[in-house]
Structure 1
């Protein structure tokens, strides 16, 4: 795929998927005849945090690309968790409902952080609906993050490793007596890698453009939703041998939240999975990595499509 492409313009009015207690806002771009890719963002984050440049590269490669806002984020319904508590399995089922809304029997799932974990959940729970999975900056055992960041206790499992201690100390040291957007921008900087090239002003701008009122449009409930999930669906490592979907695991060498063994363990557990380790990448999707990642994802999707066609 060429590194040049036509940038995507600003977000059009979203389509809306109606659930029993909520609506999901989603946006699609690209050739409807191309393979369907659904982008799954990380916890608390609206879908707009999939950079337009990155999405544009996927579209330029011929992929029909959809991003969306989880319950309680962005333009989707807010206040859902308080009135109707849900868990990660419910968020996973939302993804399959979105595939139905798109008229797609099978979709390729590309997930970042919590989104990568949801992609693996979908591949296990709905194997006939998932054509392929790309998991980025993620893990196969979500209990480690919950224990470290939600409960402040020793992880119940010894593998994979918890978030790096230097990151945890620095994140805890961010002054809380400042606007929430500024607190977020500082936390994003701490999660970046050594070769991304972004700074505080970059993330301040991203928040101003994509989440101008983050205290309202970014969910505070997704970790609590994860905590409500049955533990058998939080530690997937013993179950990943059952994943049938072609899987690409993208791991940043500098990821402080899900350090490198997280990616290696998922790649080792999923039959036939491929591991792409990116030097200098942390836990944020910085522009320096857009072309490499979009190229790898497009190639992965095309290979999965070709393999399926040969087997038909």
Structure 2
């Protein structure tokens, strides 16, 4: 049974002087209590972007999402932030929401934050899921033509442009059906200031998890597509070798498969969290 149609509470919370838009889908139905799941989103994406994936998770699983500063409904920060320190903000958010421990799942940019959280907030972290993500500045990069298109938020703001470039930068089913990229990027979009996108880019500048992979001492599942132009598959293999006991699940698809093929991938994540 999936959680399609379950309403979520949405509110604003100030955490360490940063105002964040937060969404909590409470667990419902009978069954034993489960560890809540915190979802960390990709660059330039509001929390709604992961709705297709959340809809496929069982109703007994509590799901927490938030917009990073300057994205979606979270206001532009007074000062920029960095990946190395923002994980502590997530830890404080978890505490403020009343949770002792959570599972954390990061998608794309959020996967870097999830890795940082697992290292620096490990007492709050039970399990880790890394989806379509890499190791930051020290990783096998995408092609320059792909990276160039990631330097601006235009694809989040212009549906026609997103359709034009979808196959090249997202791969997978977007190569044959590029219109699906515009659908997932814009159906749930909340257009925020462009400055928030650049702050998020800067947050990862100079950061890499590569030297610290061995410090991720929590059970970890890595999801990676075999046709992901943004995060070449070799990065997932490096992470799987570097993180003690990590499991690697390679799916057929591209960077956005977590959204477009959520029906297939959500059960993989749920089984890992239940094990």
Q: How does 1:259-278 map to 2 (within 5 A)?
A: 259-278=232-251
Q: How does 1:6-17 map to 2 (within 5 A)?
A: 6-8=3-5, 14-17=10-13
Secondary structure, aligned partner of 2:257:
coil
Residue equivalent to 1:128: 123
Give the CA deviation at 1:256.
0.7
Closer, same or farther: CA 6–109 of 1 in aligned 2, 3 Å: closer
State the distance in 2 between where 1:237 and 1:277 align: 20
Give the CA deviation at 1:296.
1.2
Give the CA deviation at 1:225.
2.0
Residue equivalent to 1:45: 45
Rg larger for: 1
**TM-score under structure 2 length normalisation:** 0.85
State the distance in 1 between where 2:145 and 2:27 align: 44
Q: How does 1:275-290 map to 2 (within 5 A)?
A: 275-279=248-252, 281-285=253-257, 287-290=259-262
Contact 1:250 1:278 in 2 (8 A): yes
Residue equivalent to 2:137: 143
Residue equivalent to 1:211: 189
Q: Which runs of 5+ in 1 are unaligned?
A: 145-159, 304-312
Query: Which of 244, 252, 263 in structure 2 is aligned with 1:291?
Result: 263
In the alignment, structure 1 residue 63 sits paired with structure 2 residue 61: yes
Q: Which runs of 5+ in 2 are unaligned?
A: none
State the distance in 1 between where 2:3 and 2:62 align: 15
Secondary structure, aligned partner of 2:56:
helix
Closer, same or farther: CA 184–195 of 1 in aligned 2, 3 Å: closer
Give the CA deviation at 1:101.
2.3
Q: How many residues in Structure 1 have an aligned counterpart in Structure 2?
A: 267
What does the per-residue CA deviation read over 1:226-272, in whole Å, with 9 as the maximum and x for residues that have no partner? 22xxx4xx222222112111100111111111101100000100110
State the distance in 1 between where 2:93 and 2:165 align: 31
Q: How does 1:89-168 map to 2 (within 5 A)?
A: 89-140=84-135, 142-144=136-138, 160-165=139-144, 167-168=146-147
State the distance in 1 between where 2:133 and 2:119 align: 16
State the distance in 2 between where 1:291 and 1:213 align: 27
Q: CA RMSD in A?
A: 2.7
Give the CA deviation at 1:216.
5.3
State the distance in 2 between where 1:120 and 1:90 align: 12
Closer, same or farther: CA 100–163 of 1 in aligned 2, 3 Å: same
Closer, same or farther: CA 292–88 of 1 in aligned 2, 3 Å: same
State the distance in 2 between where 1:143 and 1:293 align: 27
Give the CA deviation at 1:57.
1.7
Closer, same or farther: CA 215–168 of 1 in aligned 2, 3 Å: same
